[in-house]
Structures are given as C-alpha cells and as structure tokens.
C-alpha cells in the first residue's frame, strides 16, 4: 500500500487505521479486544487492522437492533425511503474513497470497482423507491361473503441477521441490507471475511445518512464464530444468507427451527448481484397480516 502523504514527507511509519464494529449507531471495539490484519490479495504490506467480532458483540448488536425496531418500524414509508435515498447520496459523495477501498481489498481494476460502487448506489435508490409502494403492490383487498372489509398487507418480521458473501464485498451487502430495512426491519450484518474494508467503510457512510442508530449494525469477523450464535438466538426473527458455503447454510438453516425464524438464501452468479430488480427478495423478511373491519350501515 502506498504511504500516506504525511508518512512520505516525514519518513515516519504510516499509522494504520483500525476499523471498528458498528453497533447501535456507535463505532466500538470488539468486546474481546481481538483484531486481525487485512492483507492485499497476493500478499504485501498490511492494509489495516479490523476488529474481530465476538459472540458478545453479536448479542449486543441484536439488542441494539431490537431497541431500534419499534421506532423504525413505526416511521412512515416515505421517511424510510428518504433515509435510504440519503444513504445513496452519501455513498455517491464518497465514491472515490469506496472505489479505493475495493481496489486495495480485492485487487480488482478501478473500472470494476467503479461499476460496483455505481451498482450499490443504484440499489439504494431502487429500494428507496419501494418503501411506499410495497403495500400497494403486494397487499390486497380480499373478496369475502360477509359484511366486512378484509385487507392483507405486508409487515416487517423484526430483527434480521444478514450474512454477506466475500465477493462482491460491497454490492452484495448493499442489496441484502436495503431489501431488509426498507420494510421496517432492523438488522445485524456480518460482512465479507476476506475483504471487510468496503463494508466497514459503508458503516461510516450510513452513520452520516440520517439512519437511526441500531437500525443497521455491522460486524466483521469469522462467520464460524458468529453463525451458530445467530442461528440459535431467540431474538432474531429472520436470517438472510448470501454466502455460497454449504456448511454455513447447514448451520443457519438448522437454527431456524429454534424459534421458527424465516430463512432465505441468495447465491446468484457474480454478475447477478448487479441486477437490482428483485422485489421478491423484499418479501423474505416480511409477514402478511390480514385485518377484518365491519362495514358500517
């Protein structure tokens, strides 16, 4: 990695950034105090230090998500859409920084990284547009043979755990995350294990995007440590898995029987993450409620 301008001018060693976990709207170090070094593909100087999330960190993140859920779920769809759109604005503004994070983390070309960031911005805008259209598209007025109105409408499931794949490190996380929170869910996202820097930089962007603290919580670390805890956690209502890992799928799927969690797995081809036209993914973490109302005479 190239030296910073300060380090280059003074001959000092560069001070590497330590990326923290994002829990409850705050940037915190892991409860265990453990860190791991992020290396560039093919070896080379250490890029950064990253906090390694522990079981306690995941439980803290779930508690933060549960605390944030009532207010976020009660907010109007229009407001949620505006906040997601603001997140897209902030990502667009910091696109060059994000492109650099992707390039140095994955070794891809700047052109490929630029496309990934653009796809991520588009995904946030796309999902922002769904917030006030979800009920109209997927809800219904049901025909009944009694003097009642019967309505069916989607509602948020609650707290959702997201496991994002290693690649694409940013676009996959954004697609999975946006589809979850637009309906009023809150989430705990476990990001790429091999290229965590784009996901952790995204947490810094979300922190400045009007998104209330606790709605999105982002953890870095080993999936092997965190997956069994998420699978068995009684206060997680749904799990969305984007990883192409049969062992992880087995662990998470088995845990859904503990408290009848919803479980969805999405493993599209690499280019498939760049297609934001997936409204059905939104339904993975929603529940349909039916209400009856007597017709007045």
Closest of 141, 134, 135, 136 to residue 295, by C-alpha = 141
Q: How much of the chain is in helix, strand and coil states, percent to nearest 5?
A: 45, 20, 35
- Span 45-73, pLDDT tens digits: 899 999 999 999 999 999 999 999 999 99
Q: What CA–CA distance (Å, rounded) separates 206 from 242?
A: 21
Tell me if 65 sits within 8 A of 217, measured CB to CB.
yes
Q: What CA–CA distance (Å, rounded) separates 36 from 193?
A: 11
Tell me if 36 sits within 8 A of 195, measured CB to CB.
no
% of the chain residues with pLDDT over 90 = 74
pLDDT at residue number 1:
45
Q: What CA–CA distance (Å, rounded) separates 101 from 116?
A: 12
Residue extents of the structural domains in the chain: 53-294
Give the pLDDT band of residue 297 (cuts 50, 70, 90): low
- Whether residue 289 has pLDDT greater than 90: no
Residue 214's alpha-carbon distances to 24, 86, 130, 217, 286, in angstroms, are 4, 17, 22, 6, 19
Predicted TM-score of the model (pTM): 0.91
pLDDT at residue number 268:
80
The single-letter DSSP state of residue 88 is H
The single-letter DSSP state of residue 31 is T
- Span 68-101, pLDDT tens digits: 999 999 999 999 999 999 999 999 999 999 999 9
- b/e for 184-216, b at 16 or more Cβ within 10 A? bbbbbbbbbbebbbbbbbbbbbbbebebebbbb
* CATH topology (fold) of 53-294: Aldehyde Dehydrogenase; Chain A, domain 1 (3.40.605)
């Amino acid at each position: 990695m190239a030296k910073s301008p300060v380090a280059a001018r003074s001959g000092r060693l560069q001070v590497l950034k330590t990326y923290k976990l994002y829990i409850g709207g705050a940037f915190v170090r892991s409860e265990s105090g453990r860190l791991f070094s992020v290396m560039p593909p093919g070896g080379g100087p250490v890029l950064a230090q990253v906090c390694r999330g522990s079981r306690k960190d995941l439980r803290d993140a779930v508690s933060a998500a549960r605390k944030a859920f009532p207010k976020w779920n009660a907010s109007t769809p229009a407001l949620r859409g505006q906040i997601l759109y603001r997140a897209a604005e902030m990502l667009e503004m910091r696109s060059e920084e994000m492109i650099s994070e992707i390039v140095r983390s994955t070794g891809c070309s700047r052109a490929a990284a630029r496309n990934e960031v653009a796809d991520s911005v588009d995904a946030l805008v796309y999902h922002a547009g769904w917030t006030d259209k979800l009920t109209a598209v997927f809800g219904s007025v049901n025909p009944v043979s009694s003097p009642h109105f019967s309505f069916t409408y989607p509602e948020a499931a609650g707290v959702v755990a997201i496991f994002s794949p290693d690649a694409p490190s940013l676009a996959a996380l954004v697609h999975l995350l946006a589809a979850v929170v637009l309906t009023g869910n809150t989430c705990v996202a476990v990001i790429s294990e091999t290229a965590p820097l784009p996901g952790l930089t995204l947490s810094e962007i979300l922190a400045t995007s009007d998104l209330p603290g606790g709605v999105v919580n982002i953890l870095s670390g080993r999936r092997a440590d965190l997956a069994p805890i998420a699978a068995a956690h009684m206060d997680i209502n749904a799990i969305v898995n984007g990883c192409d890992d049969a062992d992880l799928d087995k662990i998470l799927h088995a845990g859904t029987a503990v408290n009848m969690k919803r479980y969805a797995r999405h493993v599209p081809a690499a280019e498939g993450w760049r297609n934001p036209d997936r409204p059905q993914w939104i339904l993975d973490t929603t529940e349909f409620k039916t209400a009856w109302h007597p017709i007045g005479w």
